[in-house]
Amino acid sequence: MKRVAIVALCALAPLMAKDYKSAIESPDATKILQKDKLPPPKHYKMPKQCITTDPLAIARGRYMFHNLNGKKAKTKPPKGLAKYVIVNGKKKPKQYGNCVACHNIEGAKGPGNVGPDLHNYKKHFIDSGVRSYQYVYQQIADARVHVPKTHMTINLTTKLFTPQEICEIASYVVSKKKEK
Ligand code: HEC
């Protein structure tokens, strides 16, 4: 009896499978995938006067570095930050940046460790001659030029950031910091 049931089930299986197939919606994702496809890696020349010691520019860089991408910012943004969102009809500063998701740095809260620790970046990387400001700019703009299979977000080629924002974040990364 059991065997009959199994044989019957096997015989019916293709029909059942057919039924399942029609019940599950399988939308064509090609368009979505095409939209998300990254353009090829791009070299960028750091704009003139990109790296600055202007405290407000560095404050904006710091703000972007430490904020996770999201709908609304947790702390008040410094003056001059460019992006806003409308939440319940009100204009609110947009939370964006996301560097701390992968990097530790002075004053980071709950940093990720996918990317290298950026504590004392200027001393360890710039003053030592290992990296240049141009390298930092390129890394934040499009890291694939340095590491083809990087896990870092591509920020300028995808227009996630403007060149000015990249300069401000880079200025923050290489700035002298009081926090630990
Ligand atoms: C998803 C993870 C991830 C995010 C988000 C991320 N990074 Fe990175 N970052 C990496 C990894 C991994 C590396 C190591 C080099 C590589 O693979 O490109 C790196 C390398 C770097 C370096 C070069 C360090 C060196 O070797 O001199 C800098 C500077 C840097 N990131 C800054 C940033 C800034 C600024 C942001 C935010 C705009 C950011 N990263 C966001 C993963 C990330």
The span from the CA of 143 to the CA of 157, in Å, is 10
Are 96 and 69 in contact, with CB atoms under 8 Å apart? yes
89: CB partners within 8 A, 6+ apart: none
**Ligand 1 close to Cβ of residue 104 (< 6 A):** no
Using pLDDT thresholds of 50, 70 and 90, give the confidence band for residue 21. low
Residue 13 has pLDDT above 70, yes or no: no
**Ligand 1 close to Cβ of residue 98 (< 6 A):** yes
**Ligand 1 close to Cβ of residue 141 (< 6 A):** no
pLDDT value at residue 22: 62
pLDDT value at residue 12: 65
Neighbours of 175 (CB within 10 A): 19
CA atoms within 13 A on the CB side of 126: 19
**Which structure tokens are listed for 66?**
């430490």
Chain Cα centroid distance, residue 166 = 13
What is the identity of the amino acid at 160?
A: L
pLDDT digits (tens, 9 = 90+) for 96-121: 788 999 999 999 999 999 999 999 99
Of all residues in the chain, the percent with pLDDT exceeding 90 is 58
**Ligand 1 close to Cβ of residue 68 (< 6 A):** no
Cα(146) to centroid(ligand 1), Å: 11
**Which structure tokens are listed for 177?**
């910091």
pLDDT value at residue 151: 96
Q: Vertex 61, ends 58 and 63: CA angle to 5°?
A: 110
- Mutation probe of ligand 1 site: the residue of 62, 103, 132, 154 with most atoms within 8 A of C-beta: 103
Cα(5) to centroid(ligand 1), Å: 59
Which has more confidence, 57 or 34? Answer: 57
What is the identity of the amino acid at 53?
A: T
**Ligand 1 close to Cβ of residue 169 (< 6 A):** yes
Instruction: Give me the mean pLDDT over the 122-137 stretch.
Output: 98
